[in-house]
Chains A and B, each alone.
Chain A
Amino acid sequence: MKKSLAIVAVLIAVLLTGCTPKEVKTTGNISVYTRDASSGTRTAFFEFISVVEATPLTASAIEVTSAADMATKVSADENGIGYTNMEIAAANPSLLALSYNGVAASETNVLNGTYKLARPFNLVTRATGTFSSPEQEQIVLAFVDFLMNSTEGQEVVTSKGGIVEAGKDTAWDTLKAKYPLLAGDVSTYTIKTGGSTSVDSSVKAALEAFQALTGVKFEMNHTGSSDGFKRTLGADKDSVNAVDVGFASRAFKAEETVALGIVSGAYCVDAIVVVVNAKNTVLTDATTEMIHNIYTGVTKTWDELAK
């Protein structure tokens, strides 16, 4: 009886603690982690590495439920590979953030444009005089100023994972002096936004912060990047779907003449980082082709990559 108890105890101890940690070479099958299909990060990432209909995601992929879940799962799996945002990748010591095509994933590299696994979050407003009233124009410009140039606005964007340029940190109290309307009651005004769905969380947070400061209401109807230009300055600018500010989670195309708008430009950059387990001995850098092959199931084992 005592002997069997001891054996059980030892077994449990072994199971709980695992083998003694030693430098093991990463080998065996690659566990490919992905966000579920409704994730905006996934859509953006798969576009970068061209995981599309013709070359779809490998069927053996493991779905995780959130960016944080991705970090947990990959940090528990020596054979795992996944992708998440820069903040989460940096915060977790058991994750190794890979450089992409030789460029390290850092804020500097994202902002100077050398780190390519990143996309700008752009906005554009309507043209002068095309707002429903001059007052509406002033309110919208105040919000855009808040989002792009105020300490408070940029903080909100950062908290939603956006990477912002340093130096845009004028206090809102200073900025708001430019908009005399805000001194009065402006709760009857509604800012309408549209365009990219990826910007949803950061724009919503910014609008909520703006509402708390000024009382201005908002209405978001985001349907996709191409509608950002279309509904402010393009074909739909006078339709029922018209909006005051349009967003695109990519650079504006040449035919999208955003210079017509009062303000246009990026309010932050969104970066995706490919991560592996910190114990991974095979990878430190990811190339587009390598990641494409892993995510489409062409490369199945770490040994193939180690060669």
Chain B
Amino acid sequence: MRTELSKYKNSKRYKSKIRQDLFFKSIFQLSALLSSMMIVIIIVFILVKGLQPFIAGYQYGTRNFFEFLVGLVYRQDQGIYGVGFIVVNTLISGFGALLISFPLAVLTALFIAKIAPKRLADAMQTVVELLASIPSVVYGVFAAGSITVMVKNLGAMLSIQTAGGSSLLAVMLLLAIMIYPTITSLAITSIQAVPEDIQHASLALGATTTQTNFKVVLTSAKSGIFAGAILGLGRAFGEATAVSMVAGNKLFGPTFNLFDITRTLTSTILTGLKETTGVDYDIRFSAGIVLMIVILISNLSINLLKNRIGSQK
């Protein structure tokens, strides 16, 4: 037996198999390395470019980092770059969208995964997936053409004048629609993954189906649902094209009035990017750093929130 094995191990066939394995292993390693290198390259590049305006000796005049971070005015024409209010605006519009979208998405997911008859559930899931695949510029065109009109008319009914509907409310509604499929899809997957046993246990203890759905299914699926919320929020913060079509790009802030125009970090980075040079170009990388930090912090805080919801029960 042993000799058979060692014979095989010395055979050409075995050696070529080992070589093949090694070859593929190194290919996988290389691609993993390459993709992780990308992240490092991007972060380093943005850090270097974005911190440049705040380092002494910057060719277009060094900026004060603190003033940049807490500034309440952003005017290229006067050379004033403050993103403090833009961060607040970004947070308001992102979390506002999440506030509208999250309950709707979770309830839809519960309906599709647990309540709806199979055919209806399949059809609705397809609809959600379709929504997720619509490109953001199409959402933008839709928002600029119809959400703004709705907001404008709503404003007119309340006798509030809006800038043709471009407003914080329009941004929130647009983002709510855009992040809805992301949250719903993830919530559906995680609700479907809840083991039948614990549902049966709950029902056997005398809980109604609704009680079971809310108190057992949703709490067991919370990890996936919150992952969806985090992804959705990431999309809301990161969406640039569609948002800049309805935001109105206010020069100062922050904006708390739903019917007033606003300015988000992404729309600030995008607007006029292709036609500009000098500090106005470099400062967009600084805004990019701020955006990455904002997303990081909000993801961490949602994770904290998730852990707290679990442990209270």
A interface, CB within 8 angstroms of B = 14-16, 18-19, 28-29, 31, 36-40, 53, 56-57, 59-65, 69, 72-74, 76-77, 79-80
> Would A28 and B161 count as touching, CB distance under 8 A?
yes
| B255-277 CB contacts (< 8 Å) to partner A | 261, 270-272, 275-276
- A interface footprint on B189-214 (CB within 8 Å = 1, 0 otherwise): 00000000000000000000000000
Knowing that A61-B251, A63-B251 touch, tell me 13 more A-B residue pairs with CB under 8 angstroms: A16-B153, A18-B152, A28-B161, A31-B163, A37-B76, A60-B251, A62-B163, A62-B248, A62-B261, A65-B244, A69-B245, A77-B165, A79-B161
B107 to chain A, nearest CB (A): 17
Residue A65 contacts which of B76, B250, B272, B276 (CB distance < 8 angstroms)?
B272
Contacts known (A65-B272, A80-B163); A38 close to B76, Cβ less than 8 A: yes
> Would B152 and A19 count as touching, CB distance under 8 A?
no
B146 located at the interface, meaning its Cβ lies under 8 Å from any Cβ of chain A in the complex: yes
Closest 10 CB pairs of A and B: A77-B164, A37-B76, A63-B249, A38-B276, A38-B272, A36-B272, A76-B164, A38-B275, A18-B153, A62-B248
- A interface footprint on B49-77 (CB within 8 Å = 1, 0 otherwise): 00000000000000000000000010111
Residues of B within 8 A of A74 (CB): 164
A37 CA to B271 CA, complexed, in Å? 9
Residues of B within 8 A of A73 (CB): 163-164, 166
B156 located at the interface, meaning its Cβ lies under 8 Å from any Cβ of chain A in the complex: yes
Identify 13 residue pairs between A and B in the complex whose beta-carbon atoms are under 8 Å apart, listed by A's number: A18-B152, A29-B161, A38-B272, A57-B75, A59-B75, A60-B251, A62-B163, A63-B250, A65-B272, A76-B164, A77-B163, A80-B163, A80-B164
A108 to chain B, nearest CB (A): 31
A39 CA to B150 CA, complexed, in Å? 30
A73 CA to B73 CA, complexed, in Å? 23
> Would A56 and B77 count as touching, CB distance under 8 A?
yes
> Would B164 and A31 count as touching, CB distance under 8 A?
yes
Residue B150 contacts which of A16, A29, A80 (CB distance < 8 angstroms)?
A16
> Would B156 and A18 count as touching, CB distance under 8 A?
yes
> Would A14 and B248 count as touching, CB distance under 8 A?
no
B148 located at the interface, meaning its Cβ lies under 8 Å from any Cβ of chain A in the complex: yes
B78 located at the interface, meaning its Cβ lies under 8 Å from any Cβ of chain A in the complex: yes
A43 to chain B, nearest CB (A): 9
Contacts known (A18-B149, A53-B78, A80-B163); A72 close to B144, Cβ less than 8 A: yes
A37 CA to B198 CA, complexed, in Å? 60
Residues of A within 8 A of B76 (CB): 36-38
Residues of A within 8 A of B275 (CB): 38-40
> Would A76 and B149 count as touching, CB distance under 8 A?
yes
Interface centre among B150, B271, B280 (most CB of A within 10 A): B271
Residue B249 contacts which of A15, A29, A36, A79 (CB distance < 8 angstroms)?
A36
Interface centre among B73, B149, B251 (most CB of A within 10 A): B251
A294 to chain B, nearest CB (A): 15
B289 located at the interface, meaning its Cβ lies under 8 Å from any Cβ of chain A in the complex: no
A64 CA to B248 CA, complexed, in Å? 7
